[in-house]
Amino acid sequence: MTTATVRVDKNFRIGAIDRRIFGSFIEHMGRGVYGGVYDPGHPSAVADTGFRGDVLELTRELGATTIRYPGGNFVSSHRWEDGVGPLENRPRTVDLAWRTVETNAFGLHEFMDWTDRAGVDPYMVVNLGTRGPGEAAALVEYCNVAKGTTLAELRQKNGAADPFGVRLWGLGNEMDGSWQVGHRSARSYGEVAGQAAQAMKLVDSSIETVLCGSSNMTMSTYASWEAEALDAAYEHVDYVSLHQYYDPEKYDEQSFLASACAMDRHIEDVIAAVDFVRARQRRQRRIHLAYDEWNVWYQSRFREPYEWSSMSDGPRAIIEDDFTVRDAVVAGSLLMTLLRHADRVRIACQAQLVNVIAPIRTFGATSAWKQPIFHPFALTARHARGDVLRPELSAPTIDTDRFGPVPAVDVVATHDETDGGIALFAVNRSRQPITLHGTATGFGRLAVTGHQALADDDTSAVNTPENPLRVRPRDLPITSAEAGNCRQTLPPVSWNLITLAPAAP
């Protein structure tokens, strides 16, 4: 059997894990909100809220820590004021992004209530498409000022006596994209975003702000956009965003399984652009990254909204992809890549949470169910604690059309100082089983305590309402060698979690 070796040393530390790396995303798009998190007529709906109880339960199980809202493209023509106050007084408005009628039944207060119940932190995005710094600052005032202003008193009148205390704010969405309402040049956007961030922080100095990076790596202005926009806004922003989706149908299977190579390059490119601006402006403070839209997406199947012939009077199903075992292996490897860059990637949001290219799906009156991509995210969020370590890996290679030869195995490790445990996350990209020989040094005596793998003889297998557990992690036998080492078999095309804990003397 083919083998790979990995060595983990306590001193080879990349950085501490920011729990916000396990974020997700909700947008008023398709059935993400209406029929997703909000469905008053569903049997599981929480009384007096309309929130789907089964989706809330799965969100907690997923382990999401931060939710980006309300967009996405939706935000660039959105007026937050339309979603506050009595439901009967809220206007029905046109959503220019997805060409639907927005009822505003799920608005700002509903979102904040939902985040409280889900146990997640809000990551609010402001509209810099059709609005500007004044409106952005007003939203911060409404959300975060305790009392004494007209907007604070309006929030209280609308039912929230205490401020929401939103700490993380996005400065628009994909403002380099021609599809975005109000899109701009890099310099123009950077100036407006810097002004908005300055005004917002004058209202509440404790907040952090995220500047829009390129919409994806194929944009003609990629990298130069980051440099020009940040050059205008550096003083007032804390993060630069990255967006990228990975399409199973654009590449050969081996290249798709190695999609994390593209994500690695994306992160390194943006770090280079950001640090160039820091050096050019001779600044000490480093700007970190927020990879706040990432996922597998069958994007080549998506019919763009501008091709739709008519406005929809309600939510319609959009990009409700059925994810496979192979997709889940890739999604798990992408999350591993984010961990590997924990020194600079502090925030990440898998897009999206429910129905829209999502780990959670709903259908009519049935219970919500988990897509295969749910499982690597949930297990990583649960077990990746403390510090990310840099493993030394030796593995056979596989040939890909897009990336050339790449390691057949990818590995990242985390160490929790509080209990001494190690979590080893490993992907086998090949069609053959691979035995992973692991050695851990500097931790004392360790023993392998578990090995869970997401794999299947049919890599195209999916979960459905009728068979929601078709694809799920399986416990594999522990075949560890002497204390401190492990020798585990990684199934073909698999995502794996191997846990180690201090061994008894």
* CA 294/CA 50 separation, integer angstroms: 28
* CA 333/CA 426 separation, integer angstroms: 8
AA identity, residue 34: Y
- Respond yes or no on whether the N-terminal peptide bond of residue 350 is cis (omega within 30° of 0): no
First CA to last CA across the chain, in angstroms?
Answer: 33
Same topology, domains 2-10+388-502 and 19-383? Answer is no
Look at the pTM and tell me if it is higher than 0.85: yes
User: How many CB atoms lie under 10 A from the CB of residue 274?
Assistant: 23
pLDDT value, residue 480: 66
* pLDDT at 411 > cutoff 60: yes
User: How many CB atoms lie under 10 A from the CB of residue 251?
Assistant: 18
Residue 313's pLDDT band, with cuts at 50, 70 and 90, is confident
* CA 450/CA 461 separation, integer angstroms: 25
215-266 pLDDT, tens digit per residue, is 999 999 999 999 999 999 999 999 999 999 999 999 899 999 999 999 999 9
Which one, of 347, 222, 328, lies nearest residue 288 by Cα? 347
Q: Which of 81, 110, 174, 228 is catalytic?
A: 174
Per-residue DSSP letter, 302: P
Distances (CA, A) of 51 to 28, 37, 40, 222: 15, 6, 6, 39
pLDDT value, residue 366: 84
pLDDT value, residue 302: 83
Query: Per the CATH hierarchy, to which homologous superfamily does domain 19-383 belong?
Result: Glycosidases (3.20.20.80)
Question: 216: which residues sit within 8 A by CB, 6+ positions away?
Answer: 222, 243, 244, 245
Listed in sequence order, the DSSP H helices in 250-355 are 253-257, 260-280, 325-340
Tokens of 332: 């798990």
pLDDT value, residue 308: 59
Residue 481's pLDDT band, with cuts at 50, 70 and 90, is low
In contact, 233 and 264? CB cutoff 8 Å = no
Per-residue DSSP letter, 449: E
Q: Which of 27, 102, 141, 293 is catalytic?
A: 293
What is the 3 state secondary structure string of 269-298? HHHHHHHHHHHHCCCCCCCEEEEEEEEECC
Give the residue extent of every domain in the chain.
Answer: 2-10+388-502, 19-383
pLDDT value, residue 295: 98
Residue 1's pLDDT band, with cuts at 50, 70 and 90, is low
Average pLDDT over the chain reads 95
74-132 pLDDT, tens digit per residue, is 999 999 999 999 999 999 999 999 989 999 999 999 999 999 999 999 999 999 999 99
In contact, 216 and 173? CB cutoff 8 Å = no
* pLDDT at 307 > cutoff 80: no
Query: Is 293 tagged catalytic?
Result: yes
Mean predicted confidence (pLDDT) in 363-376: 93
pLDDT value, residue 365: 79
Mean predicted confidence (pLDDT) in 175-197: 97
Listed in sequence order, the DSSP H helices in 25-118 are 53-62, 108-118
CATH topology of domain 2-10+388-502: Immunoglobulin-like (2.60.40)
In contact, 207 and 246? CB cutoff 8 Å = no
Tokens of 447: 């023993």
Largest CA distance in the chain: 71
Distances (CA, A) of 365 to 41, 54, 343: 9, 11, 44
Tokens of 32: 């993400």
Burial of 449 (0-12, 13-18, 19+ CB in 10 A): middle
